[in-house]
Amino acid sequence: MAELIEGLFLPRLGSPDLARADDSAVLPEPGGQIAFTTDSFVVDPPIFPGGDIGRLAVCGTVNDLAASGARPLYLSTAFILEEGLPLETLERVASSMAAAAEEAGVRLVAGDTKVVPRGKADRLFITTSGIGVIPEGMNVSGHHARPGDVVLCSGTLGDHGMAIMVTREKLGFAGPIESDVAPLNGLVEAFHPLRHGLHTLRDATRGGAAAVLNEIASQSGVAIEVAEEAVPVRPAVRAACELLGIDPLYVANEGKLIAVVAPEVAEEALAIWRAHPLGRDAVRLGEVLEGPAGRVHARTPFGTTRLLDRPLGEQLPRIC
Amino acid sequence: MAELIEGLFLPRLGSPDLARADDSAVLPEPGGQIAFTTDSFVVDPPIFPGGDIGRLAVCGTVNDLAASGARPLYLSTAFILEEGLPLETLERVASSMAAAAEEAGVRLVAGDTKVVPRGKADRLFITTSGIGVIPEGMNVSGHHARPGDVVLCSGTLGDHGMAIMVTREKLGFAGPIESDVAPLNGLVEAFHPLRHGLHTLRDATRGGAAAVLNEIASQSGVAIEVAEEAVPVRPAVRAACELLGIDPLYVANEGKLIAVVAPEVAEEALAIWRAHPLGRDAVRLGEVLEGPAGRVHARTPFGTTRLLDRPLGEQLPRIC
């Protein structure tokens, strides 16, 4: 294992902190409130169209920090490896992690590796934790949505979940679908000038946009209305969803943010996102209503509404 | 899973940060350099004499922070659960984590839970990450040992590893052996007054004291001599080690610190540890020599020496 760490991870992830091999990374004072988050990644398969578990593990944690309004600074990564895992898989995953960390501008500063016997884990699991610093004046939370606020979505929905499902179930019919896995901290950074009008940020992962909107509605004690025709979905994803009878609002994303903003900054916010490479397809998804508290519904182009319930159970296990 | 988190974890781990359910915990400015560490725990069996994987996951991360000279502040915890894991196991583990966090004076502020199908993990794996703050004037590292320094050990060696081995292999012969798993930050805190003479701290986990001493000798470019007759080992652990042909210096601990201190503070340091409930059996284990760089040996009571090599591979998989 020492050889594995020195020979494989250090050259790829190779930050001076990892190489120091003390019990913890020692880091400069962050200079502000900090955000701290953790996630385990158990995605099946570990390599999928558009990414792999390494990119996912870095982006997932970066995005949780970004969705708290934080600037991501440092990540740790802990590997649980099944004995017999091909070294090429590990090399690819380590390289992906390093590339995604560079893309996001974060440093991998601490790590751990455990190996379990064959059959006691499924190939590899990665747990990443992250620390970020909250810029002065940034104060977002699922509890801060207010009636009259506008709900923005940074791009097309359902790409990650459908890429996994189509790969796993070998459903090639719908044309190529790639995961949207990407670090979203740039989209949050871009909102800095209008941070006082920014109330809530969420990355729409497991359970999709519908789960996130339900959490926000329930935490803030408001209702949320989605404009059905505004929901951005790629044609191949829409086709696959229709064939499988799944609503893209419930499908996981790994590169999409939902923002709740004050109405007076909504247009500017949308323009900022659309000018960013990861927000080109951003839309005004809907709005926040007085109540009933916790209710989320979609308004169809015909003027009728349908309830978007909190998803019951997981639509697709091991999506991330 | 939402039910699992709300019904089981929150009442037990229940910090206000976890209950807030935003993407990250938002925490006050730590006010100093920070230490950051992560570890996955895959111990088999998850419940063992003297503790369980929950206590181990909290103490292991607290101890990595403490061994960096930091005051542990916040922990995150990520669970990977095998479908069908008995709820009683999870309840016990969650309660243990909460109790250990209270004992250590740290807060569990962020969490994640993933469930994988039966056969895709072995019961439960826990990854904990931690943040601590380094007090002014504290500057310990494996690179700081100097010739003439004294090596201290906070208590008996081999308890954790032998407790696991005896349980796993059903070797009841040796009498009851309990893991020493405990939070060691109190032992580091107690050293605060003499922090300027404190050069290196390590908790002697996988690979035992011998692995840690080898790391220090190699990082600092010094040799280390252990006084064989000073090595503290409980009679039942010694008996089990002799029967199995294992050197207790190579057996894992989860509640023992190795400290390298300047000779002028060594007596005071030892007295401080012996006055602490977790350091009652502390000893002067050996000393740091000029060279050869990286060499660790034991001097026997007969005046001969034997090499204490860096352990090759893991003596016992899934020890933590």
Q: What tens-digit pLDDT sequence spans chain B (320 residues)? A: 556 666 777 677 766 666 565 678 889 888 899 999 999 999 999 999 999 999 999 999 999 999 999 999 999 999 999 999 998 999 999 999 999 999 999 999 999 999 999 999 999 999 999 999 999 999 999 999 999 999 999 999 999 999 999 998 877 666 789 999 999 999 999 999 999 999 999 999 999 999 999 999 999 999 999 999 999 999 999 999 998 899 999 999 999 999 999 999 999 999 999 999 999 999 999 999 998 999 999 999 999 999 999 987 666 789 89
Which of B26, B28, B141 faces A22 most closely, judged by CB atoms?
A: B141
- Which carries the bigger pLDDT value, residue A99 or residue B168? A99
Q: So what's the pLDDT on residue B29?
A: 86
- CA–CA distance, B198 with B262 (Å, rounded to integer): 7
Amino acid in position A302: F
- Cα–Cα distance list, B46 to A40, B8, B125, B259 (Å): 19, 18, 9, 29
Would you call A33 and B31 a contact, using CB atoms and an 8 Å cutoff? no
* Closest-CA residue of chain A to B310: A2
Say whether B40 and A1 touch across the interface (CB within 8 A): no
- Contact A30/B at CB under 8 A: yes
Which residues from A are below 8 Å from B111, CB to CB?
38
**Cβ–Cβ of B35/A26 closer than 8 Å?**
yes
Tell me the residues of chain A between 131 and 160 that have a Cβ less than 8 Å away from chain B: 131-132, 134, 141-143
Residue-level pLDDT at A19: 58
Distance in angstroms (rounded) separating the CA atoms of residues B24 and A61: 9
Cα B213 to Cα A242: distance, rounded to the nearest angstrom: 62
The residue among A3, A62, A114 with the most chain B CBs within 10 A of its CB, best to mutate, is A114
Class at the top of the CATH hierarchy for domain B150-307 = alpha beta
Tell me whether B9 touches chain A (CB under 8 Å): no
**Which residue of A lies nearest to B140 if distances are taken between CA atoms?**
A22
A206-234 per-position pLDDT tens digit: 999 999 999 999 999 999 999 999 999 99
Structural contact between residues A318 and A206, judged by C-beta atoms closer than 8 angstroms = no
Cβ proximity of B234 and B177 under 8 Å: yes
Task: Quote the distance between the C-alpha of residue A51 and its chain's center.
Answer: 13
Q: How many CA atoms lie within 13 A of A6 on its CB side?
A: 5
Separation of alpha carbons B195 and A99, rounded Å: 39
Give the fold, CATH level 3, of B2-134: 60s Ribosomal Protein L30; Chain: A; (3.30.1330)
| Best CA proximity match to B184, nearest among B302, B45, B71 | B71
A127 and B CB contact within 8 Å: yes
With CA atoms as reference, report the closest residue to B258 among B318, B207, B319, B316.
Answer: B207
Contacts of residue A53 in chain B, CB cutoff 8 Å?
A: none
Using one digit for the tens of pLDDT, what is the confidence trace for B162-176? 999 999 887 766 678
Question: What are the sequence ranges of the domains in chain B?
Answer: 2-134, 150-307
